[in-house]
């Protein structure tokens, strides 16, 4: 777990900290806007040196207060957890006091302080934890007083988590201020006071003269030291105010000074009342409260006395620097020079790196690396610092470190600033990524020769902004058609054989892979098979890898070498999405070897440009269409594809107008779905969802492309329920700091485990904007591999925060999610037991929840896979983006619940349940079942019927479990606690749905560790299951119930036998009881043979051991036979009950961790006896069915959700392929490029020449476009487009413009 002690940010090495302390003059902090050299990070050096301190600032010369200092006595002394070093000092120039305390309060056995002998952490790197400055409010916290005038306190801790050191610095003011000492430090005032005293009574001062400053200071020091020496005496000394020395030195002018120093005035009456009283100063009493104050006053008087004394040596203070260095562990550290020039000012870059000028190159490099770790956002600036210091020092070692950092992908700040300037931007620009990407595209379009420079600049900006989108664009190796022609020196109308000849000639003197890429680009543009084959031949001839094709497939975790190119690419994409650069190169090499072996133009093109659209054969009427991933929606795509194959659902969606719920008040008043009344806004939104789904299903039915793209609006409506959305928006408004976490916006608490892998937010995308904004088309491919390791996790799916269930997420304000006692018990123990759960999809949402604002109509789909529309305008789209990210955290089962609910809300009922008033409809009749839960109380057998949309089963804690064993946990008898007593409870199926959904719940939540984990133990499932054994029978003496009770008894007995077997075999410890007894017997035999003379063995012990060994062996044999017999009986108990037959139709797969991963689905085509894999945009036939039924949690992921269909009605219930492909109408080409340009200018598109292109014939590029509506062309009458746009009032989807 990461140590939360230290804040992120720059730090200082111990030598830098102390150097800054010596330079910091607290007197002038307020004059410099509160800037503190000691505590504040160094200012960035931008070429103009800003003075760190003023000319009058004190460079402290610290002297030690010996009696208050506890420091290491030698370099060999090592601290421990109880060590506290204190170095108490004062400056002999300004008399400010500094106390440095070093302690180790968090020392554990695993920690070791930094030490010079440790090359990885030779010095403490100290980060500021807190600073406290004196004020009336902070006086108590600083414990400031007259005796301890603390001005500021700073606490630092070492940035190395394994180092327990803490450093505190207290700064306090001089005890004696200049104002206090002015009466005795001002020579003129002192002389005048003495002359007046002598003139007033010359006879008392015969031959005496006014005292000097040094004498007055000496008198005061003597008084204080006398007081300190007499603090144990019963009667302190007194000083008569008429004392000659006192009167000349102090008089009445110094009363305030002496009172401040705790001198007390004493009046003593004379023996005769007529005589005046005599006045004395009693020396200050020294107590534990003021003893250090008295010592400090003496010390300061000695400092001032030294300044005003004529003697060269009066007092000999002890320098404190050596004690400070030893306490901080850097005394006698290696330096690059034996001498230090204190008059020379260090370069500001040393301050920024937290280093000092005399560091060796190794120490300076270490300081740079440590600073970068602590303050990664400023790494480019620190690299500037290191490079400039390396140059100034002439250090080849540091130069090498700079080069290595740059080669590893780091950038200097100056490089980043120059990159922004290249595009005419300031480094602090607020422009969105899309705007910068547009500038890059415009630049390379207008000035192709600047492409390489523009790419480098764009990479630097991508690094600075941490933008994957910009980085992807900058790393795009795609070669345009024009670039390919220019590279080969040919024209667009050059014959293919001539281009091939030129390519062969060019390859002999150039990069063959680049030549092949140019050939492939021209071939794809011209759809030229001759050039395509030429490019493939060149790639094959250019093969330099020694990797064998079999090893290449193995490296990409592909066990089926016959899989399509698209699936191979999906594997590659999945593995490289988060791979380190070296691993990515390894995967790329493997893919290139496979592409060469297959002679695959598709794979070679994708290697060149992952976003390239490779000409492929059109989709056919017998092949389903894929769904493009629009950002973390693989589970959404799987679900939408599955529902499309469910005929009752598909028919409702396709014929929605005849199923649409009317919106009159009377019908709405009667509407009840999921146990609650449904308000009109919810119905409207649900119908909008079905409208969107209808459009998608029309595309799936008629598209000629290999895949289509769901709209973002459909995704939001599918993923995110209205109630959770309203809660999210309400939480977002009340929390300006950022998007809330799931747990923070939900009204109900977390219960037990998290059910289902969680899905974190996708990459941020701009929210929909009005169609009159200028737009830009960019690609966002998101291909997922089906069979990468199950323990891998997609880059976009890594959120490990525990999520509540779907029902929790839509709970209304203040309402806790209600569960039956059984469900509550199940959830509390599901993490470590075989508890069962039945998913109840009843939901409750406040009717007053506001629906989100209406969004603009979705932009028309494009043929190009992965293409989305984004605007260049940098707008604040936070609300919609955060909603999208939050909604994307739902998992498959939660989304299924939301889809079912929306479908039911949108359609009219077929009838009404007379008992509950609940709507009965096609969705409910098709997908919903019900359980009868029986609870045997003392006198009665209670029955409760609970509806469900899916059954939830669990994998075994260890080993394999088949689907019947998993379902048995749901329906078998179990003992539950009710009202402080136990009762038997079991469940039966009261209503079997035509389509049965089973969720394999693999996620458990550890409430102590607060982490979720995934159970990958296999759950085997056959293609056919029989559910007779679970059906309800109200007659307890029926044949079915007798068989079930027998099975329950057998299982109880089996559990006992297996427990006894486990004890005897002791498999966990690796030594069974029989083996232990055999080893003991052999040892006893050895002892009896006399090898151990001092041991006596009972003579009967060997026989007893042999007898016991035989007994246990026999017991194990009997247990084994009984177990085998019971298992056989259980297997055969229901084999003759086969009336209720269900066939497997769909298997949802999840690959990844409990916190995220990737989904795809296998769907069975009953008509053609084909299993297909639906993996986002790729739909492929499964040749080897072991990929589905032998999923063991390895490379292929784990089954997570199953759909079985009633066998007798399967042809009416499901149909895998529903296609009516229409031929796309031909579109006439534009006559000329000139006419296109003219038409665009007429419609508001402004063209501009690049300033560098003086040729008037140079092609122009788009710099900006006037706002204009963007609309899809109608399917019909395309050739009359201009007339249609002028007259039509609806778009291609029949919706108003």
Residue 853: DSSP 8-state: P
Q: What does the pLDDT look like over 116-172, one tens digit per residue?
A: 999 899 999 999 999 999 887 777 778 888 888 999 999 999 998 889 999 999 999
Q: Who contacts 1280 (Cβ-Cβ below 8 Å, separation ≥6)?
A: none
What pLDDT was estimated at residue 1266?
38
Q: Do residues 209 and 203 lie in contact, with contact meaning Cβ atoms separated by under 8 Å? A: no
Indicate the range of 442-451, 524-533, 1283-1292 predicted with least confidence: 1283-1292
| Confidence check: pLDDT of 1255 > 90 | no
Smallest Cα–Cα separation from 304: which of 215, 210, 191, 172? 215
Q: Are 1180 and 567 in contact (CB under 8 A)?
A: yes
Distances (CA, A) of 241 to 52, 181, 281, 1105, 1113: 49, 19, 7, 105, 109
How far are the Cα atoms of 372, 697, 1164 from residue 1211, in angstroms, in the given order? 64, 20, 12
CA 131 vs CA 6, 42, 710, 911: distances in Å = 14, 16, 54, 72
Going by pLDDT thresholds of 50, 70 and 90, the confidence category of residue 643 is very high
Q: Which helix (H) or strand (E) holds 131?
A: strand 125-133
Give every CB contact of residue 369 below 8 A, 6+ residues apart in sequence.
Answer: none
pLDDT band at 452 (very low <50, low <70, confident <90, very high): confident
More confident residue, 285 or 784: 285
Name the maximum alpha-carbon separation found in the chain: 138
Kindly report the number of other CB atoms within 10 A of residue 546's CB atom: 8
pLDDT at 1012: 76
Least confident of 299-308, 433-442, 473-482, 808-817: 808-817
DSSP assignments along 993-1021, one per residue? -SEEEEEE--EEEETTTTEEEE----EE-
d(CA 578, CA 522): 32
Q: What is the pLDDT of residue 896?
A: 84
The secondary structure of 1246-1266 as a DSSP string is: EEE--TT---TTSPPEEEEE-
pLDDT for 1080 equals: 84
The token duo for 483 is 């670039």
Contacts with 651 (C-beta within 8 Å, 6 or more apart), sequence order: 922
Count of alpha carbons within 13 Å of 940, Cβ hemisphere only? 3
Q: Which is nearest to 813 in space by CA: 734, 752, 745, 750?
A: 745
Integer angstrom CA distances of residue 763 from 613, 842, 1108? 22, 32, 67
Q: For 905-962, how does the pLDDT look when each residue is reduced to its tens digit (9 = 90+)?
A: 999 999 998 888 889 999 999 999 999 999 988 778 888 999 999 999 999 988 899 9
pLDDT band at 435 (very low <50, low <70, confident <90, very high): very high
CA gap 214, 415 in Å, rounded:
62
> To which residue do tokens 């056995």 refer?
109
- Mean pLDDT of the chain, nearest integer: 78
Q: Is a pLDDT exceeding 60 seen at residue 798?
A: no
pLDDT tens digits, 742-763: 333 333 333 233 333 333 333 3
Supply the pLDDT for residue 1289: 46
Give CA–CA dist 537/487, Å, rounded: 19
User: 474 pLDDT band (50/70/90 cuts)?
Assistant: confident
Cβ 451 vs Cβ 440: under 8 Å: no
Long-range contacts of 593-600 (CB under 8 A, 24+ apart): 593/543, 593/545, 593/547, 593/548, 593/549, 593/552, 594/549, 594/552, 594/553, 594/556, 594/568, 595/539, 596/539, 596/540, 596/543, 597/549, 597/552, 598/565, 599/536, 599/540, 600/536, 600/565
- pLDDT tens digits for range 863-885: 333 333 333 433 344 445 554 44
pLDDT at 724: 58
Model confidence band, residue 657 (pLDDT cutoffs 50, 70, 90)? very high
Mean pLDDT of 561-565: 76
Which residues are registered as beta bridge partners of 154? 131, 169
Q: What is the pLDDT of residue 1072?
A: 78
Average pLDDT over residues 1008-1035: 87
SS (H, E, C) 888-940: CCCCHHHHHHHHHHHHHHHECCCEECCCCCCEECHHHHHHCEEEEEEEECCCC
Residue carrying the six token digits 């029926």 = 1038
779, pLDDT greater than 50: no
Mean pLDDT lowest among 313-327, 747-761, 1102-1116, 1263-1277: 747-761
Which band of pLDDT confidence, cut at 50, 70 and 90, is reported for residue 1270?
A: very low
Give the percent of the chain with pLDDT over 90. 36
Task: State the DSSP code for 1118.
Answer: H
How far apart, in whole angstroms, are the C-alpha atoms of residue 836 and residue 820?
Answer: 12
pTM: 0.48
What's the token pair of residue 671?
């509407």
d(CA 562, CA 981): 61
Distances (CA, A) of 565 to 127, 293, 619, 1185: 53, 84, 16, 19
């Amino acid at each position: 777990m990461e140590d939360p002690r230290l804040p992120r940010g720059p730090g200082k090495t111990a030598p830098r900290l102390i150097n800054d302390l010596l330079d910091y003059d607290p007197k002038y902090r307020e004059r410099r806007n509160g800037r503190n050299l000691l505590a504040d990070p160094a200012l960035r050096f931008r070429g103009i040196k800003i003075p760190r301190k003023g000319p009058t600032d004190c460079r402290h010369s610290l002297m030690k207060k010996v009696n208050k200092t506890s420091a290491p006595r030698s370099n060999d002394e090592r601290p421990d957890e109880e060590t506290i070093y204190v170095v108490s000092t004062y400056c002999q120039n300004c008399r400010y006091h500094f106390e440095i305390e070093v302690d180790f309060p968090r020392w554990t056995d695993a920690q070791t302080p930094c030490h010079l002998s440790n090359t990885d952490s030779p010095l403490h790197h100290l980060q500021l934890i807190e600073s406290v400055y004196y004020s009336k409010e902070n006086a108590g916290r600083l414990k400031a007083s007259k005796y301890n005038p603390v001005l500021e306190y700073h606490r630092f801790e070492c940035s190395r988590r394994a180092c327990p050191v803490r450093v505190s610095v207290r700064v306090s003011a001089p005890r004696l201020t200049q104002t206090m000492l002015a009466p005795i430090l001002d020579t003129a005032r002192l002389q005048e006071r003495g002359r007046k005293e002598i003139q007033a009574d010359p006879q008392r001062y015969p031959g005496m003269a006014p005292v000097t400053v040094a004498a007055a200071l000496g008198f005061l020091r003597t008084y204080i030291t006398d007081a300190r020496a007499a603090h144990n005496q019963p009667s302190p000394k007194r000083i008569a105010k008429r004392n000659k020395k006192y009167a000349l030195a102090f008089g009445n002018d110094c009363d305030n000074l002496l009172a401040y120093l705790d001198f007390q005035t004493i009046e003593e009456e004379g023996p005769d009342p007529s005589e005046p009283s005599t006045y004395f100063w009693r020396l200050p009493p020294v107590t534990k409260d003021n003893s250090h104050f008295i010592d400090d006053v003496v010390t300061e008087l000695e400092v001032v006395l030294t300044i005003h004394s004529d003697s060269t040596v009066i007092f000999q203070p002890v320098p404190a620097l050596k004690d400070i260095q030893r306490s901080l562990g850097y005394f006698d550290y290696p330096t690059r020079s034996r001498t230090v020039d204190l008059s020379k000012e260090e370069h500001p870059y040393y301050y920024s790196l937290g280093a000092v000028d005399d560091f060796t190159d190794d120490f300076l490099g270490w300081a740079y690396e440590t600073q970068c770790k602590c303050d990664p956002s400023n790494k480019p600036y620190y690299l500037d610092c290191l490079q400039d210091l390396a140059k100034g020092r002439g250090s080849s070692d540091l130069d090498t470190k700079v080069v290595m950092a740059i080669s590893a992908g780091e950038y200097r700040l100056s490089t980043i600033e120059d990159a922004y300037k290249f595009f005419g931007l300031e480094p602090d620009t607020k422009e969105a990524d899309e705007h910068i990407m547009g500038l890059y595209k415009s630049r390379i379009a207008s000035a192709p020769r600047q492409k390489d420079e523009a790419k480098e600049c764009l990479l630097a900006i991508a690094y600075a902004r941490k933008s994957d989108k910009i980085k992807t664009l900058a790393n795009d190796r795609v070669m345009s058609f024009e670039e390919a022609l220019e590279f080969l020196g040919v024209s667009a109308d050059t014959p293919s054989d001539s281009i091939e000849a030129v390519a062969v000639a060019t390859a002999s003197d150039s990069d063959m892979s680049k030549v092949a890429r140019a050939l492939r680009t021209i071939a794809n543009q011209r759809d030229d098979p001759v050039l395509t084959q030429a490019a493939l031949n060149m790639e094959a001839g250019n093969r330099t890898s020694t990797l064998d094709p079999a090893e290449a497939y193995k490296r990409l975790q592909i066990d089926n070498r016959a899989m399509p190119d698209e699936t191979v690419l999906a594997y590659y994409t999945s593995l490289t999405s988060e791979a380190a650069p070296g691993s990515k190169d390894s995967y790329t090499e493997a893919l290139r070897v496979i592409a060469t072996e297959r002679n695959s133009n598709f794979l070679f093109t994708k290697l060149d440009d992952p976003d390239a659209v490779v000409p492929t054969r059109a989709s056919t009427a017998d092949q389903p269409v894929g769904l493009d991933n629009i950002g973390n929606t693989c589970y959404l795509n799987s679900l939408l594809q599955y529902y499309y194959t469910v005929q009752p659902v598909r028919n409702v969606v396709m014929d929605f107008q005849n199923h649409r719920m009317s919106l009159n008040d009377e019908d709405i008043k009667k509407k009840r779905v999921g146990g609650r009344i449904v308000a009109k806004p919810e119905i409207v939104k649900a119908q909008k969802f079905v409208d969107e789904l209808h459009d998608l299903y029309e595309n799936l039915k008629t598209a000629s492309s290999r895949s289509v793209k769901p709209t973002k609006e459909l995704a939001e409506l599918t993923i995110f329920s209205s109630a959770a959305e309203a809660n999210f928006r309400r939480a977002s408004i009340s929390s300006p700091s950022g998007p809330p976490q799931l747990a923070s916006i939900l009204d109900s608490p977390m219960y037990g485990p998290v059910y289902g892998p969680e899905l974190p937010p996708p990459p941020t995308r701009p929210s929909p904007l009005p169609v009159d904004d200028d737009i830009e088309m960019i690609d966002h491919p998101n291909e997922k591999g089906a069979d990468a390791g199950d323990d891998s996790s997609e880059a976009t799916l890594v959120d490990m925060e525990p999520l509540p269930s779907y029902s929790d997420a839509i709970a209304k304000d203040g309402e806790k999610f209600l569960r039956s006692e059984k469900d509550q018990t199940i959830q509390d123990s599901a993490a470590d037991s075989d508890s069962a759960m039945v998913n109840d999809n009843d939901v409750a949402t406040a009717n007053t929840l506001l629906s989100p604002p209406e969004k603009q109509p979705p932009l028309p789909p494009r043929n190009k896979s992965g293409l989305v529309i984004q605007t260049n305008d940098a707008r604040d789209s936070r609300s919609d983006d955060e909603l999208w990210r939050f909604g994307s955290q739902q998992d498959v089962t939660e989304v299924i619940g939301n889809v079912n609910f929306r479908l039911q809300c949108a359609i009219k009922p077929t009838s009404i349940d007379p008992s509950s008033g609940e709507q009965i409809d096609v969705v409910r009749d098709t997908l919903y079942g019900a359980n009868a839960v029986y609870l045997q109380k003392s006198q009665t057998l209670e029955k409760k019927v609970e509806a469900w949309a899916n059954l939830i089963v669990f994998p075994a804690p260890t080993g394999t479990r088949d689907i019947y064993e998993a379902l048995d946990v749901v329906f078998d008898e179990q003992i539950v606690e009710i009202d402080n007593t136990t009762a038997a409870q079991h469940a039966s199926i009261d209503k079997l749905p035509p389509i049965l959904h089973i969720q394999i719940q693999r996620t458990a939540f550890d409430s102590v560790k607060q982490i979720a984990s995934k159970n990958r133990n296999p759950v085997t499932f056959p293609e056919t299951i029989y559910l007779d054994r679970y059906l309800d029978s109200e007659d307890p003496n029926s044949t079915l119930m007798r068989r079930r009770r027998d099975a329950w008894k057998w299982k109880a007995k089996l559990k006992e036998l297996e427990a006894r077997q486990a004890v005897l075999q002791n498999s966990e410890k690796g030594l069974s009881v029989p083996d232990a007894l055999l080893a003991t017997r052999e040892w006893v035999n050895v002892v009896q043979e006399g090898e151990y003379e001092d041991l006596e063995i009972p003579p009967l012990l060997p026989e007893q051991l042999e007898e016991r060994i035989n007994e246990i062996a026999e017991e194990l044999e009997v247990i084994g036979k009984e177990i085998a017999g019971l298992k056989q009986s259980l297997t055969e108990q229901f084999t003759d009950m086969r009336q209720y037959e269900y066939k497997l139709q769909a298997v949802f797969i999840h690959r990844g961790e409990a916190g995220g991963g990737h989904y795809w689905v296998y769907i069975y085509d009953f008509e053609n006896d084909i299993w297909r894999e639906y993996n986002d945009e790729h739909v492929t036939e499964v040749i080897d069915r072991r990929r589905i039924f032998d999923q063991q949690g390895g490379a292929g992921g784990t089954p997570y959700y199953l759909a079985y269909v009633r066998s007798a009605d399967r042809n009416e219930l499901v149909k895998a392929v529903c296609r009516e492909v229409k031929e796309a109408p031909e579109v006439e080409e534009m006559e000329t490029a000139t006419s296109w340009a003219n038409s665009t200018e007429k419609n508001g598109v402004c063209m501009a020449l690049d300033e560098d292109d003086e040729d008037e014939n140079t092609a122009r590029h788009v710099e900006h476009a006037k706002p204009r509506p963007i609309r899809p062309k109608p399917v019909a009458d395309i050739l009359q487009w201009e007339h249609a746009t002028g007259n039509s009032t609806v778009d291609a989807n029949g919706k108003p413009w």
